[in-house]
Chains A and B, each alone.
Chain A
Amino acid sequence: MPRIAIILGCIALAVLPLLGASGYQLFQLTLVVTYAVAILGLNLVTGYNGQVSLGHGAFYAVGAYTTAILMDKFAVPYWATLPVAAVICAVFGFLIGLPALRLGGLYLALTTFALSVAVPQLLKYKLFDDYTGGVQGIVIDKPDAPFGLALNSDQWVYLFTLAVGIVCFVLIANLVKGRIGRAMIAIRDQPLAAEAMGIDIAMLKTYTFAVSAMITGIAGSLGAVAVQFVAPDAFGAPLSLTFFVGFVVGGGASIVGPIFGAIFVEFIPNIADQISKAAPGAVYGVLLIALMFVAPGGCASIVRKLAARMPWNRKTT
C-alpha cells in the first residue's frame, strides 16, 4: 500500500512543475524524462540482461530521425510518429541483436560502439540525403496543446513526454518482475543454469535487445519533438557514452535508477561548466568519481538502503 502511495506521490511531484516552472526549466525537465526513458532501455539490456551496449545512441538517433522525417516530409502529427518509431527501432534492434549477441561481453560492447560511431556518417550518406537533410539536419515544428487545453507548448510537451515516460516505466517494471524478467536475470547471473532450466538464451537475449532498442527509440522520438531539431552530429558516440554514464550512475538492474542517471547527465555538465570554463570535462570527471565513491552501486542502491529502513518495510522483514 505505501508503495502505491509513493509512486502516486512521485507522479504528482513530476506534474507539479507545470504550475510554476518557466519554459526553460520545463524544457530541461522534458530532457530529463527523455534521457530517463533512453537509459531505461539501456538498463533493460545491460542491467537486467548483462549485455553491455555502448551503442544505444544509435537507436535514439533512429527514433529521433523517424519522428523528424515523418513530421517534416509526410506531415504526420508528432504523436502518431511514436508507435512508428517504436516498431522501426524494435526491428532494427532485433536485426542488430541477431548477430551481435552471439558475441559475448566485451566484444558485444565493441560491436555496439562501432554502431554508434557509424550512425552519424550513415545519416549524412547521400542516398538518404533527400530524407535526412544531410549534415544540415531537419528542423521540426513545436506541437501546441490539443483540445484547447490552457497549456503553452512547453507545458504540453512536458506533460506528453512525462505521460509516455510513465507508460514506458510501468511496462518495463512489469516485464522485469514477471517470468521473462526472471529469465533475463538468470541469463545474466547463471547462463548455464538458465539454459538447463529450458530458457532459449539466444532468442531471449535478442528479444531483450529489441525491446531495449524500442524503448530507447521512443526516447529519441520524444527528444526530437522537444528539441525540434535533429542533425547527424547530435547522435555520435558521445551520446551513447552519456547514456552509459547515466546507466552506471543511476544503478544497474533498477527501475528508479534511470531517473537519477538522467538527472545526473542533464544537470552535472551545467554545474561543471559553472565551476570551470577552462576544463569542464575534468570537473565532470571528478564529480563522477566522487559519486562512484559515495554511491558505489549507483543512486538506486542508496534508494534501496533508505527504503529498507522505512517503518513499513521493517515490519514485513
Chain B
Amino acid sequence: MKRRSLLTAAAATLATPSLLTRAHAATAVGVTATEIKIGHIVAYSGPASAYGAIGRGHVAFWKMINDQGGINGRKINFITLDDGYAPPKTVEQARRLVEQDEVAFLFNPLGTPNNSAIQKYMNSKKVPQLFVATGAEKWGDYQHFPWTMGWQPSYQTEAQIYAKYILKNKPDAKIALLYQNDDFGKDYLAGLKVGLGAQFDKMVIKIVSFEVTDATIDSQAVTLKDSGADTLVTAATPKFAAQMIRKVADIGWKPLHFLTHVSASVGAVINPAGPERAVGIITSQYAKDPTDPTWADDKGMNEWRAYMKAHMPDSDVADSGYVFSYGVCHTMLQVLKQCGNDLSRENIMHQAASLKDLAIPTLLPGVLINTSATNFHPIRSMKLSKWDGKTWSLFGDVITG
C-alpha cells in the first residue's frame, strides 16, 4: 500500500511538468477559451486626429466579426486607446495594454515616431506589434525586430516600382530626383538606388534635396530642369509637391513626372497646383479609391460599402481611412484564423509571417499579401496611375518592388 502510493506520487511528479507546459501553451497571454484581447493605439485627439477614423473603423469591424460568432468560437475584445499622436503617450498606452490589460498583441498602432517609441519595448517584451500604420522602410527589419511588422507598401518599395517601370519603358531616361531631406525622402533615394541597381549612376543625372523648413523649392526646380533631365521623381510631402507641379509647368518643363503616392491627394495637391498643370503625372496605388467610379460595381468595394452601410451608417464613405481599416483588419482576421487554437504570441507572429497570396477586397486586383520569415513587408505590389486632368486612372500591370 505504502509502495503503491509512493509510486503514484512519483508518477505524478514526473507527469506534472509536462502537464504544466502543455497548460501554459494553451493559455497564451490575452487569450481565453472565449476571447482574444487585442490592443490598438491611434490619435483620436491632437494634430493627427483625422486618423481617428481608422480606429473607429477597426472597432466596427471587430464588432461585426463578434456578431458573426467570432473566430473559432472566440470573441474579439478590442481595446483602442488615444495617444494624441504624442510618442510619450504612445509608450504609456502600450505599457497599459501590455502590462495592465494583458492583450495578446498590438494591432496597427499609428504613426512613425509613435511606433519608433514603442518598438524596443514591444520586442523586449516579445509582444507582437503587427501591421503598423506607417510607410517607413524600417518596419520590415525582421532581423533586429522580429516582433514588429509593417503592412502598407514602404516608400522604398514605391521608389523601386518607379525604377522598374523606367527601366522597362524608358531605358534611356535621364532622371532627376527631388527629395525631402528626412527619412521619408531618403527612403525614396534608397529605393531608386536598389531599383536601378548598376544603372543608377548612369541614369540619375541630378539629385537635389530640400528641407521641410524651406519656404519654396523654386530654385531646386530650375536646377533640375537645367540638368537636361527628361524624367523627374518628386519625393515630397503635399505642400512641396503642389509647389513643384506648379513650378515645373510654369518654367515650361515637360518631364515624365513621378509623384509619391503620399502626395497624390486631389484636394491637397492637384487642385492647389492646378489640375491642368498636373496632366501626365504618374503615381501609384495599392488600394481601391472609394471615390473612383471604376469601382462602382466592384465586388470587393460593394462588400465594403455594404459593411459601411450596416455597421457605420453615419460615416463618410469618401474617407479612405475606412478603406484602409477594412483592409488591414481583413489581414489580421486571416492571421487569427490561421492560428487555429494556438494563439500564443509566437504562433501569432509565425502566422503573420506565413501569409500566402492573400487577396483583400479593398486592395487593387493583383495586389496580394505575402509574408515569410524573411519578408516583413506584406504589401510589395502597386499599380501605376496617371492624372488625366480630372481623375487618376490606373494603367499597366501590377508591379512588385
A interface vs B, CB < 8 Å?
22-25, 27-28, 31, 121, 124-126, 134-137, 139, 223, 227-229, 231-234, 236, 238-239, 269-270, 272-273, 277-278, 280-281, 284
Contacts and interface: CB of A to CB of B under 8 A. Distances in A.
A227 B116 CA distance: 12
B92 interface: yes
Contact of B82 (A27, A126, A135, A280): A280
B341 interface: no
Contacts of A238: 46-47, 84, 86
Contacts of B120: 139, 228-229
Contacts of B213: 121, 124-125
Contact of B121 (A137, A228, A273, A284): A228
A231 B212 contact: no
Q: SS class of chain A's interface: helix, strand, loop or mixed? A: helix
A27 to B, nearest CB: 6
Among A139, A227, A239, A278, max chain B CB count under 10 A is at: A227
B95 A234 contact: no
A269 B212 CA distance: 31
B183 interface: yes
A134 B136 CA distance: 14
Q: SS class of chain B's interface: helix, strand, loop or mixed? A: helix
18 contacts: A22-B99, A28-B92, A125-B211, A125-B213, A126-B181, A135-B112, A135-B113, A135-B183, A137-B117, A228-B120, A231-B87, A233-B86, A233-B87, A233-B113, A234-B113, A269-B82, A273-B44, A280-B44
B144 to A, nearest CB: 12
Contact of A135 (B56, B89, B182): B182
Contact of B95 (A24, A124, A236, A272): A24
B85 A277 contact: no
A136 B183 contact: yes
A24 B100 contact: yes
Given A121-B212, A238-B46, A277 B59 contact: yes
Contact of A137 (B89, B99, B116): B116
Given A136-B183, A139-B116, A231-B116, A23 B95 contact: yes
Nearest to B52: A277
A22 B97 CA distance: 12
A231 B90 CA distance: 12
Interface of B: 44-47, 49, 52, 55-56, 59, 80-82, 84-89, 91-92, 95-96, 98-100, 112-113, 116-117, 119-121, 181-184, 211-213
Contacts of B112: 135-136
Contact of B85 (A227, A228, A233, A273): A233
A139 B117 CA distance: 7
Nearest to A140: B120
Among A23, A136, A232, max chain B CB count under 10 A is at: A136
Contacts of B45: 269, 272-273, 280-281, 284
A136 B186 CA distance: 12
Given A27-B95, A277-B82, A231 B117 contact: yes
Nearest to A237: B47
A239 B46 CA distance: 11
Contact of A124 (B116, B121, B182): B182
A31 B89 CA distance: 10
A284 B44 CA distance: 12
Given A137-B117, A236-B47, A269-B82, 16 more contacts: A23-B95, A24-B98, A24-B100, A126-B211, A134-B182, A135-B112, A135-B182, A135-B183, A136-B113, A136-B116, A228-B91, A229-B87, A229-B120, A231-B117, A277-B52, A278-B56
Contacts of A236: 47
Contacts of B52: 277-278
Contacts of A136: 112-113, 116, 183
Nearest to B80: A277
Contacts of B183: 134-136
A31 B91 CA distance: 11
Among B96, B113, B183, B211, max chain A CB count under 10 A is at: B113
A234 B86 contact: yes
Contacts of B55: 277
Contacts of B86: 233-234, 238-239
A28 B100 CA distance: 12
Nearest to A234: B87
A272 B89 CA distance: 14
A22 B116 contact: no
A52 to B, nearest CB: 23
A25 B183 CA distance: 34
Contact of A281 (B49, B56, B119): B49
Given A125-B213, A126-B211, A277-B44, A234 B100 contact: no
A33 to B, nearest CB: 14
Contact of A273 (B56, B81, B95, B182): B81
A222 to B, nearest CB: 12
A136 B46 CA distance: 20
Nearest to B89: A269
A227 B80 CA distance: 21
Given A24-B96, A124-B212, A134-B182, A227 B84 contact: no
A238 B211 CA distance: 23
B88 A223 contact: yes
Nearest to B88: A227
B379 to A, nearest CB: 22
A47 B275 CA distance: 53
Nearest to A122: B213
B125 to A, nearest CB: 10
- CB-based closest 8 A-B pairs: A273-B82, A231-B113, A229-B117, A24-B99, A24-B95, A281-B45, A234-B87, A227-B88
A115 B205 CA distance: 40
A87 B54 CA distance: 44
